[in-house]
Amino acid sequence: MSAPELGDVAATSLITLYAHAQETQSADPVLSDPKAVGIARTLSMKFAGSENPLVRTLVQGTLDPRLVVHIALRARRYDDYVREFLAGSPGGVVVNIGCGLDSRFLRIDNGEVIFYDLDLPEVIALKREFFEETDRYRLIAASVLEKDWIPRLQAHEGPLLFLAEGVFMYLEAEAVKGLFVTLAEEFPGSELVCEVVNAVWVREPLRAMMQFKLRRELHMGEDAVFRSGIRDGREPEEWHPGIRLLDEWSYFDAEEPKLGWLRLFRHSEFLRKTQWTVHYRLG
Could you report the per-residue pLDDT of 196-209, keeping only the tens digit for each?
Answer: 999 987 877 766 66
**9 and 90 share one domain:** no
In this prediction, residue 201 carries a pLDDT of 74
Could you tell me if 243 and 188 are in contact, meaning their C-beta atoms sit under 8 angstroms apart? no
**Mean pLDDT throughout 80-100?**
97
Could you report the per-residue pLDDT of 57-71, keeping only the tens digit for each?
Answer: 888 888 889 999 999
Compute the distance between CA of residue 137 and CA of residue 4 in angstroms, rounded to an integer: 28
pTM of the model: 0.92
**243 and 153 share one domain:** yes
DSSP secondary structure of 132-144: ---SSEEEEES-T
Is the confidence at residue 217, as pLDDT, over 80? no
Residues 49, 53, 59, CA angle at the centre, nearest 5°?
Answer: 55
Could you report the per-residue pLDDT of 225-279, keeping only the tens digit for each?
Answer: 788 999 999 999 999 999 999 999 999 999 899 999 888 889 888 889 999 999 9
Q: For residue 188, is the peptide bond before it cis, meaning its omega torsion is within 30 degrees of 0?
A: no
Q: Which residues contact 20 (CB under 8 A, 6 or more apart)?
A: 31, 33, 36, 71, 72, 75, 102
**160 and 127 share one domain:** yes
Could you report the per-residue pLDDT of 12-59, keeping only the tens digit for each?
Answer: 899 999 999 999 999 999 999 999 999 999 999 888 777 778 888 888
Confidence at 222, pLDDT banded by 50, 70, 90: low
Could you tell me if 214 and 220 are in contact, meaning their C-beta atoms sit under 8 angstroms apart? yes
Q: Which of 54-68, 94-108, 139-153, 176-190 has the lowest mean pLDDT?
A: 54-68
**270 and 174 share one domain:** yes
Give me the number of domains the chain comprises: 2
Could you report the per-residue pLDDT of 3-20, keeping only the tens digit for each?
Answer: 436 666 777 899 999 999
**30 and 59 share one domain:** yes
**24 and 91 share one domain:** no
Is the confidence at residue 1, as pLDDT, over 60? no
Is the confidence at residue 218, as pLDDT, over 70? no
Domain span holding position 54: 3-66
